[in-house]
Amino acid sequence: MESQKRNNSKESISTFKDALFVDKEAVFALLLCQEGLLAPVSHLMNEEEMQEVDATGLYKGQSFPFSFILAPSGRRNTIVLKNAKKGNVITLVCEGNVCGELVVDSTFKIDKQQRLFKIMSGDIYSQKAQDIYRRLGDYAICGKYCLFLENTRFDFMCHIGKQTILQTKKNIQAENITAMVLDASPVTRIHERIFRLVLDESDLLVLMLLRHRDEGLLDFHIRKTCLQNVIDNYLPTNRILIFPLDDIYLFAGAHGIILDAILAQNLGCDRIVIGENHPNLTIYYDNQKIYSIFDTIKDIKIHVKLLHEFVYCSQCSTIVSLKTCPHGNHHHIHYHSGLLQGILQAGLIPPTILMRKEVSAKILSYLYPKRFSPLLKQFGAMFANNGMIEKQDDEDFYLKLINLYQTHSLK
């Protein structure tokens, strides 16, 4: 579709008669499709395609859990969609800024309840399901679209996409590429252990780091910063890439794990790593054989590797797999993100068997900025140094403090 890029300022929006107001989740979903990361889906589906995919769970012979449509809510959007004619150019607006254009092919009414049921795999009463229902409109629109995403958060994702991975693959002559979806809230020693395990068997690891709508204690920036720090200092940097993945409604239900696999496949990966305790894996037994949701898919050519849970064992004095450790659960320390976040939120330093001290220092200085400002003046007197006067910050203070905690000659 040929279109002329328009002014992205908020003042220009009032000049557009026909505009659809969409949220970031919709923009990110459209971007994934535009970049070819949801293939074989390559466009917004029309009514006939929607009905076929929702009925069969297939698109062009490949598993695709539900139809790919655009149905934004809101009174103004409903009016625009009801009045739209084939060939009309619709402006797409997100958070007050023009983000794209769409040439109308058709509009059609949808069943919101059925749509929600498909997305959430039947779980329509949770809070997440209700949030999705509120953002669904009564009408959908299809047609060719083009996004304008320069100088936005989505522009970054455009450049850390398939081409970057393919170029890296070429540079290091990688034959095997593994993907892994993670939250890293926070990144722990277990993550490192898994990264190393994967890199033993793969040439390149793509970390699809989730970016949540409601970030909670640790936002995407600090999580990515800590993850990148671990990669830069303790892992082969040229063999790991971070791909920002918005945790949008498409991935909300049990079938979201299938879309993870489709996305990984379209990023050029031939394997995806998933923990056995993943809530959407749906493991079951039949005739003494183990199956998962991936045994129901068709024509998604990516190998799924299941990982056992790792813990720290006080008897083994190291990180072990639950499958190989001979000691009881009472000897195990589990790496629950909620527990670690609770320790950090209390302003405490987690044990280094759980997290690297550099990660703890970055997070605590982020959560409690200028916490040690009065003490920094006494920095030189409190800690041993190389005799040089250097500017110190809260992160340096935490690192020095942790080092003192690790002094073993005095009990």
- Cis before 279? omega within 30: no
Token pair, residue 239, equals 């063999």
Cα dihedral 8, 13, 16, 19 sign: positive
Mean pLDDT of 317-325: 90
Backbone φ and ψ of 140, nearest 5°: -115, 160
| Model pLDDT for residues 164-174, shown as the tens digit of each residue | 888 888 899 99
Mean pLDDT of 71-95: 94
pLDDT mean across residues, the chain: 85
The amino acid at 305: K
| Helix H or strand E encompassing 222 | helix 220-234
Contact 297, 218 (CB under 8 A): no
d(CA 43, CA 41): 6
Q: Which of 51-55, 308-312, 318-322, 396-400 reaches the highest mean pLDDT?
A: 51-55
Token pair, residue 41, equals 């889906």
| Helix H or strand E encompassing 320 | strand 318-321
Is 50 exceeded by the pLDDT of residue 2?
A: no
Is 50 exceeded by the pLDDT of residue 8?
A: no
pLDDT for residue 160? 56
User: What's the pLDDT band for 58 if we cut at 50, 70, 90?
Assistant: very high
pLDDT for residue 3? 46
DSSP strand E in 148-203: where? 177-182
d(CA 283, CA 275): 11
How far is residue 338 from each of residues 201, 216, 240, measured CA to CA in Å?
A: 30, 11, 26
Mean pLDDT of 213-223: 91
Mean pLDDT of 229-234: 96
pLDDT for residue 142? 96
| Model pLDDT for residues 375-411, shown as the tens digit of each residue | 766 655 566 565 555 667 888 888 888 877 765 554 4
| Model pLDDT for residues 244-302, shown as the tens digit of each residue | 998 888 888 778 888 999 999 999 999 999 887 766 655 545 555 555 666 667 778 88
pLDDT for residue 252? 84
Is 60 exceeded by the pLDDT of residue 209?
A: yes
pLDDT for residue 283? 52
Token pair, residue 185, equals 């809230």
pLDDT for residue 64? 93
Mean pLDDT of 105-124: 92
Which 3 state secondary structure label does DSSP give 407? coil
d(CA 52, CA 241): 36
User: What's the pLDDT band for 9 if we cut at 50, 70, 90?
Assistant: very low
Mean pLDDT of 199-220: 92
d(CA 406, CA 182): 30
d(CA 98, CA 16): 10
Which 3 state secondary structure label does DSSP give 303? strand
User: What's the pLDDT band for 156 if we cut at 50, 70, 90?
Assistant: low
DSSP strand E in 121-258: where? 136-147, 177-182, 204-211, 240-246
Is 50 exceeded by the pLDDT of residue 133?
A: yes
Mean pLDDT of 228-235: 96
Mean pLDDT of 54-76: 94
Is 70 exceeded by the pLDDT of residue 345?
A: yes
